[in-house]
Amino acid sequence: MADYTCPTEKLKEYIVELIQCKEIVTFTHPVYKKFHNEIIDFVIENDFSDTDEWEKIQSNLLIKPTQYMVIEEANIILENLEKLKIQYLKRNHEQNKYLIFFEKMHPMIRNTSEKKFFDGHYADSVESAFKEIDSRLKKLYLKHKGKDLTGKSLMLHIFNLENKSNQRLLAFNKLDTQSEKNVQEGFMNIFAGAMQAIRNPKSHANLDITQDDAVDKLMLASMLMKKIDEAISFSKIEE
């Protein structure tokens, strides 16, 4: 498992230092002032301001120059910092897992979908990914064939197996054998099906797709975009 460093560790070090301090710890103590400023920043940056842990920590902080810290207050702060640490690590572990996922994704899909995914807009992230696929192929077909197609119709033309009316633009192989033809037809149908079934989740009244569902669909989008790279390279088509 990856080692996730948490800012609470430094905050806890400050509190321990204050507990061990032989002076009376007041609001103006240099270590306390540093601790106070950094814990405020930590809570705001990580959106912990509405947590029970922060409420308990805040009620035991020094906020006036006339106040001083006692052991009981410091221990309550330590205890709740540990609880915030658990929340922080869990949250960042999940995010890190998905960051690794996006690092392996086709760059065009990552660029169009990553921010929306991490903002929690899962349906939008999927919609953007498949629209990016459609847009890329649409531009290619218009440039080389002069026809403005989109969606399922575009996929059935651009990857056309029989090349009716010289429709096909992209192939994945030489199409000499039945196996090669099966690959071409299979991917043509996958592209067409993806456009028909999942390009626009909103159009299917599926506004609240889950994070895991979005991941599955984005994996498919990335794979299809990589197949486009292969087909463009094999077909020697200029973008």
Positive or negative: CA dihedral 232, 235, 236, 239: negative
How long, in residues, is the chain?
A: 239
119-158 pLDDT tens trace? 788 999 999 999 999 999 999 999 999 999 999 999 999 9
45-68 pLDDT tens trace? 999 999 999 999 999 999 888 899
Paired tokens of 131: 């629209």
Residues 158, 141 contacting (CB under 8 angstroms): yes
pLDDT-based confidence at residue 223 (cuts at 50, 70, 90): very high
Phi, psi of 26 (to 5 degrees): -110, 175
96-110 pLDDT tens trace? 778 788 989 999 999
pLDDT confidence of residue 209? 85
Task: Indicate if the pLDDT at residue 2 is higher than 50.
Answer: no
Phi, psi of 68 (to 5 degrees): -140, 155
Cα separation, 205 vs 63, in Å, equals 51
Paired tokens of 124: 């939008």
Positive or negative: CA dihedral 137, 139, 140, 142: positive
pLDDT-based confidence at residue 4 (cuts at 50, 70, 90): very low
Instruction: Read off the amino acid at residue 160.
Output: N
SS3 assignment, position 26: strand
Interval 216-234 mean pLDDT = 97
Higher pLDDT, 172 or 93: 172
Cα separation, 101 vs 119, in Å, equals 16
15-43 pLDDT tens trace? 999 999 989 999 999 999 999 999 999 99
Cα separation, 163 vs 157, in Å, equals 8
Rounded to an integer, what is the distance from CA 196 to the centroid of its chain? 25
Q: CA of 125: how far to CAs of 130, 131, 202, in Å?
A: 9, 10, 11
Residues 125, 198 contacting (CB under 8 angstroms): no
pLDDT-based confidence at residue 162 (cuts at 50, 70, 90): very high
pLDDT-based confidence at residue 91 (cuts at 50, 70, 90): confident
Residue with tokens 């633009």: 169
* Mean pLDDT, all residues of the chain: 91
